[in-house]
Amino acid sequence: MQIFNSLSRAKAPFVTVEPGKVRMYVCGMTVYDFCHLGHARMLVSFDIVQRWLRQSGYQVDYVRNITDIDDKIINKAVSLNQPLHAVTSFYTDAMHADERALGVQAPDQEPRATMHIPGMLQIIRDLQDKDLAYQTPDGDVNYAVRSFAGYGKLSGKVLDDLRAGNRVAVSDGKRDPLDFVLWKAAKPDEPADSVWDSPYGRGRPGWHIECSAMSRELLGQPLDIHGGGPDLKFPHHENEIAQSEGAYGGQLANVWMHCGPLMVDDEKMSKSLGNFRTIRDTVSSQPDPAAPDYQVNVREAEMLRFFVVRNHYRSPQNFTPDNLYNAQAALDRIYQTFNNTGLDVPASIDWSQEYEQSFKAAMDDDFNTAGAIAVLFDMVTEANRQNSAAISGRIRALGAVLGLLGQDPQQYLQSPTRYIKRDGQPSTAGVLSESDIETLIAQRSEAKQARQFEKADQIRAQLKEHGVELEDKPGGLTQWRRA
């Protein structure tokens, strides 16, 4: 197995610290708002990583944290006049709902930052002992970046080239404008539940120290894999390295993994641009903003997961309506194959077969899901050519490795979806309910029996206008699907 290491900027054979075991830490969500599509990419990408590692025989301890103390959380709690824990619990539950919708398996451990304050304070003390941290007159404790020789090795940034204030808060008490905060002194107007006692006075941890403490306490050092979104490489992961390696030497992680950026209409997603899109808005037609859970459209939710998986995790990905329509059409094609051929799913995957070997080779090459999905479509072509339930069953088994293709084909194809095109254009016809469809099919059957073929054809055309395709089977049975 080869993995691209963001630290070395190259692929290399994956070798674990302890044979057969993987200690994997991924930076999770700051829970103050609903998860957006960039989060969907991160969640699904690292879900694929841990799934394939387990499939490959590794014993994986997968930790993904929750940041439940942060300036944004405090601001949200103040704006809502709610306690911090009420805000973080609500959005944590909402995040879990999104994970369930996308078929993301829960991590083995999901620590919350507020439960690891003592570990953070211990690292700060150890950094102070090595003259890597200092307290300012205003009470903050900062990291002295110029005292750590390896600063910039992950991001490739050079301190002298960085401008003060670029993603780093500037304070008059800093020895260097690029120093970052380890412990923030409490301010008089901050909520009482955002403050902890410490040797440095009352306050709260800086963001970066949280992950250094949680990863060390739960997995030790070095980690086999440390991962996260593309925007975390600098400063967050760079600062984690400075903290953990500055305090304890060695390497924080042997392999650093970062998924690629997700763009919306070729632009970075942001609320200011009006292109911000949440997971729940994408996979549920009417999510309730006052509730953490929501009714998932299972066809659309699997489409969104498929949309992420069909691209390599490191490549840039562009979210557009056309791309979603294309992803839905491609996923529908696989389920239509299952519906046509039937399914003879093997009890286990035979990795000695040609298609399975090609799938494995793709996944072993830095989790190349794009290549693995291409193998599945080669199999789809062959399953249709041979009308083979056995090949379709093998497709389903391989899809399960990626967290895909587990739905009943007919139920899937009868589920509504907003992400379809008809005659090359997005569908604008209203969605018929299942009972309306069954009523029209019964009326068509009666018309055919009465030899009113023109009426029967009109009903078929009416159903097609609403995206419902009919397939007449022997014995007078009519199957339908949404297309």
pLDDT in tens, the chain (483 residues): 999 999 999 999 999 999 999 999 999 999 999 999 999 999 999 999 999 999 999 999 999 999 999 999 999 999 999 999 999 999 999 999 999 999 999 999 999 999 999 999 999 999 999 999 999 999 999 999 999 999 999 999 988 877 654 544 555 688 898 999 999 999 998 999 999 999 999 999 999 999 999 999 999 999 999 999 999 999 999 999 999 999 999 999 999 999 999 888 888 876 667 778 999 999 998 899 999 999 999 999 999 999 999 999 999 999 988 999 999 999 999 999 999 999 999 999 999 999 999 999 999 999 999 999 999 999 999 999 999 999 999 999 999 999 999 999 999 999 999 998 776 666 655 577 777 788 888 788 877 778 887 777 878 877 887 778 888 888 778 888 887
CA distance 307 to 322: 11
- State the helix-helix crossing angle for 369-386 and 321-341, rounded to 10 degrees: 40
Say what the pLDDT of residue 430 is. Answer: 56
Report yes or no: 294 and 288 within 8 Å, Cβ to Cβ. yes
Say what the pLDDT of residue 247 is. Answer: 97
Say what the pLDDT of residue 283 is. Answer: 95
Say what the pLDDT of residue 136 is. Answer: 95
Residue 421, marked binder: no
Six token digits for residue 171: 């304070």
User: In sequence order, what are the residues at sequence separation of 6 or more whose Cβ sits closer than 8 angstroms to the Cβ of residue 141?
Assistant: 124, 128, 133, 134, 135, 181, 182, 183, 200
Q: Is the CATH number 3.40.50.620 carried by domain 2-263?
A: yes
CA distance 322 to 411: 25
CA distance 120 to 128: 12
CA distance 228 to 45: 10
Query: Which is nearest to 414 in space by CA: 297, 287, 305, 285?
Result: 297
Q: Are strands 2-5 and 10-13 parallel, antiparallel or unpaired?
A: antiparallel
Top-level CATH class of 321-413? mainly alpha
Stretch (H or E) spanning 376: helix 369-386
Phi, psi dihedrals of residue 187, rounded to the nearest 5°: -110, 150
The residue behind tokens 């990863």 is: 215
Which DSSP state fits 347?
S
Residue 271, marked binder: yes
The residue behind tokens 């700060």 is: 124
Q: Which residues of the chain are in CATH 3.40.50.620 domains? A: 2-263
Say what the pLDDT of residue 451 is. Answer: 81
Q: Which residues of the chain are in CATH 1.20.120.640 domains? A: 321-413
Say what the pLDDT of residue 321 is. Answer: 85
Residue 240, marked binder: yes
Q: For the whole prediction, is pTM greater than 0.85?
A: yes
Residue 259, marked binder: no
Residue 236, marked binder: yes
- Residue 173 CB: number of other CB atoms within 10 A? 14
